[in-house]
Amino acid sequence: MVGVTLKKSIFAQGSYSFETSAAFKKLSQLSKTPYDLTQEGHLTPERIHRFVAHSTNWKLLYGTQRVDAEVMETLQQLAREANVFEKMHAMQGGEVINCIEGFESEQRRVLHTALRDFFDHPNEAKEAREAAKAAKRELEKLETLIYEIDKEERWTDLLFVGIGGSELGPKMLVLGLEAYQRPNRRVHFISNVDPDDVASVLKGVDLEHALLVTVSKSGGTLETKTNEDFVRRRFEEAGLDVNEHCIAVTGEGSPMDDPARYRQCLYIWDWVGGRYSGTSVVGGIALAFAYGLDLFRDLLRGAHAMDLAAREEDFSKNIPLLMALLGIWNRNFLHFPTLAIIPYCKMLGRLSAHVQQLDMESNGKRIDRFGKSVSYSTSPVIWGEPATNAQHSFFQMMHQGTDVVPFEFIGFKRSQMGQDMELFGTTCHDKLVANLFAQALALAQGQTSSNPNKFFPGNRPSSILLAEVLDPYTLGALLSIYEHKVAFQGFIWNINSFDQEGVQLGKVLANKVLNRIAGGKEPYLLGDAFLDELQQCD
């Protein structure tokens, strides 16, 4: 483990408070009359070209947000009052920021940026350098492993067993790069403790040609251990040499770190949260198996480039920070309780599920870094589906419901697989992007009508992320955008975005119920009542 520095932290109590900041007061005032996008002459082509930011090869358009120059300046003032740049430096430099001051807490560094700090401008902090060295060592082990796997010419299927952050990120990344698939290589995710999950996956897989990767940092996640055991028994039943098939991704020294049971153990560390582990060997093994290690390196390169952009003090070059600020404007000043993430891209089908965890598990907190209850809203509900599908699903409510939902749209100049055709004078991809822009405009401007059912109130805000094409570099940068957006919001809300104490109580009670099912004597009458009701179902 990396050593702990004891210098005075920029996160220390007293240096900043969200609600008493000068910017907060001014933003509260400004939010009484937010920019009216429906008014004639307000949403103009000039405005669209003016509210633009660039980071790496991504562009953010936010002219369809309810902001004007004064709001944007005050949001930037808020960022400076919250010392977000110093905090981002502290995080990427390896300060122990995963903690609640004065109370028992995880007391860890947060160094997912070190997982990809192998390229230009390496972080010079000692802790960051050590972490990057450890990450590089695992990447090299992964390279050797993939080389062996390829050489054995036997393996066609990877059974990837993990849950939560050990599944959502890797799955999003694997689905996101489908066009790069190597011949005869498939990755299957097994996550739910529902036995139908593993049974459904296994019925389509020839076990002789299947590797099993089990991902659990602690080495003791209930669902993951259960599913691993399920698959191992199937290997045994098929008469296979089980351990030859099994690979572990776990913390060094965990119960799973056992060369007698796995052909290889790859390591992750307590300075990488599950939801931030997409660029560790957790995501790496799935991507390298399916698409090759070079692709994974490109993805890391994109993520690293965005890590550097997140330290950029020119706001127009820092997309993660701008997205964080616009989110705070919508959440804390315009009081919108949810955020829809809508990629106009089939390949990003699980992006919203990934960001849902990333954001809600990180910032779904009700105490600040010092253990005090916050009196302002933190993480909104994050949800979404890819479009144009989503347009035919819930967009009715987006346009004409009683509640306003802010959007983050994502689009590309061209498709990933490059197969397209013209119909009625435009390609499929043309139709896709035309719909994206049309929705942003329709939501913002609305429509008047003498028929109340054809009236659209408008003023429903959105941002649009644009890039040329969803390639590995671009996807890595996108992953990093959301990681840093979440971190910045946590900095501004003054909360610890890196623990997840809220999942513990359910685990404790589940064990009490399980103990009753297993015939345990310790009474749990509430659990029994539910189990009785279940037993009576027929």
Which parts of 387-406 interact with a copy of itself (CB under 8 A)?
387-389, 391-403, 405
Query: Is residue 147 within the footprint of a copy of itself (CB under 8 A)?
Result: no
Query: Is residue 120 within the footprint of a copy of itself (CB under 8 A)?
Result: no
Q: How far apart are CA 323 and CA 483, in angstroms?
A: 11
Query: Is residue 52 within the footprint of a copy of itself (CB under 8 A)?
Result: yes
Instruction: Considering only residues 13 through 32, tell me which ones interact with a copy of itself, judged by CB under 8 A.
Output: none
Three-class DSSP labels, 507-522: HHHHHHHHHHHCCCCC
Binding-residue pattern over the window 223 to 252 for a copy of itself, x denoting contact by CB under 8 A: x-xxx-xx--x-------------------
CA pseudo-torsion sign 361, 363, 364, 370: positive
Instruction: Considering only residues 351 through 380, tell me which ones interact with a copy of itself, judged by CB under 8 A.
Output: 353, 356-357, 360-361, 363-367, 371-374, 376-380
Instruction: Determine the size of the site formed for a copy of itself (CB under 8 A).
Output: 160
Instruction: Considering only residues 518 through 537, tell me which ones interact with a copy of itself, judged by CB under 8 A.
Output: 518-519, 525-537
Structure tokens at 46: 């000039």
Of 116, 429, 484, 485, the one binding a copy of itself by CB under 8 A = 429
Query: Is residue 514 within the footprint of a copy of itself (CB under 8 A)?
Result: yes
Work out the angle at residue 420's Cα, subtended by the Cα atoms of residues 419 and 423, and round it to the nearest 5 degrees.
165
Of 1, 22, 69, 510, the one binding a copy of itself by CB under 8 A = 510
Query: Is residue 41 within the footprint of a copy of itself (CB under 8 A)?
Result: no
Of 146, 193, 240, 334, the one binding a copy of itself by CB under 8 A = 193
Please, what is the minimum distance in Å from the beta carbon of residue 153 to a copy of itself?
22
Please, what is the minimum distance in Å from the beta carbon of residue 47 to a copy of itself?
8
Instruction: Considering only residues 265 through 304, tell me which ones interact with a copy of itself, judged by CB under 8 A.
Output: 274
**Upper half-sphere CA count for residue 322 (Cβ side, 13 Å):** 29
Of 163, 187, 268, 290, the one binding a copy of itself by CB under 8 A = 163
Q: How far apart are CA 323 and CA 314, in angstroms?
A: 14
Q: How far apart are CA 79 and CA 315, in angstroms?
A: 10
Of 432, 478, 487, 492, the one binding a copy of itself by CB under 8 A = 432
Longest dimension (CA), the chain: 75
Query: Is residue 426 within the footprint of a copy of itself (CB under 8 A)?
Result: yes
DSSP code for 85: H
3-state secondary structure of 256: coil
- Chain-centroid distance of CA 483 in Å reads 6
24 class by beta-carbon count within 10 Å (0-12 exposed, 13-18 middle, 19+ buried): buried
Query: Is residue 156 within the footprint of a copy of itself (CB under 8 A)?
Result: no
Please, what is the minimum distance in Å from the beta carbon of residue 290 to a copy of itself?
14
Instruction: Considering only residues 122 through 141, tell me which ones interact with a copy of itself, judged by CB under 8 A.
Output: none
Of 41, 45, 183, 239, the one binding a copy of itself by CB under 8 A = 45
Please, what is the minimum distance in Å from the beta carbon of residue 56 to a copy of itself?
11
Query: Is residue 40 within the footprint of a copy of itself (CB under 8 A)?
Result: no
Please, what is the minimum distance in Å from the beta carbon of residue 29 to a copy of itself?
22
Please, what is the minimum distance in Å from the beta carbon of residue 136 to a copy of itself?
28
3-state secondary structure of 373: strand
Binding-residue pattern over the window 436 to 455 for a copy of itself, x denoting contact by CB under 8 A: -xxxxxx---xx---xxxxx
Do the Cβ atoms of 275 and 358 come closer than 8 Å? yes
Q: How far apart are CA 260 and CA 32, in angstroms?
A: 65
Beta strands in 324-386 (DSSP E): 338-343, 381-383
Residue closer to a copy of itself, measured from CB, 45 or 124: 45
User: Parallel, antiparallel, or unpaired: how do β-strands 381-383 and 338-343 relate?
Assistant: parallel
- The set of catalytic residues is 361, 392, 507
Contact segment (CB under 8 A) with a copy of itself among 14-22, 159-167, 322-330, 475-483 equals 159-167
DSSP code for 493: H
- Judge if the upstream peptide bond of residue 388 is cis by omega within 30 degrees of 0: yes
Instruction: Considering only residues 87 through 116, tell me which ones interact with a copy of itself, judged by CB under 8 A.
Output: 100, 103-105
In 3D space, the residue among 319, 401, 326 whose CA is nearest the CA of residue 65 turns out to be 326
Please, what is the minimum distance in Å from the beta carbon of residue 123 to a copy of itself?
28
Structure tokens at 37: 């996008």
In 3D space, the residue among 482, 499, 488 whose CA is nearest the CA of residue 367 turns out to be 499
Q: How far apart are CA 513 and CA 152, in angstroms?
A: 45
In 3D space, the residue among 204, 215, 130, 214 whose CA is nearest the CA of residue 166 turns out to be 215
Instruction: Considering only residues 323 through 342, tell me which ones interact with a copy of itself, judged by CB under 8 A.
Output: 337-338
Structure tokens at 518: 């297993």
User: Parallel, antiparallel, or unpaired: how do β-strands 58-61 and 462-467 relate?
Assistant: antiparallel
Residue 182, phi-psi category: left (phi > 0), alpha (psi -120 to 50), beta (remainder): beta
Please, what is the minimum distance in Å from the beta carbon of residue 262 to a copy of itself?
18
Contact segment (CB under 8 A) with a copy of itself among 69-77, 141-149, 153-161, 500-508 equals 500-508
Residue closer to a copy of itself, measured from CB, 9 or 166: 166
Query: Is residue 179 within the footprint of a copy of itself (CB under 8 A)?
Result: yes
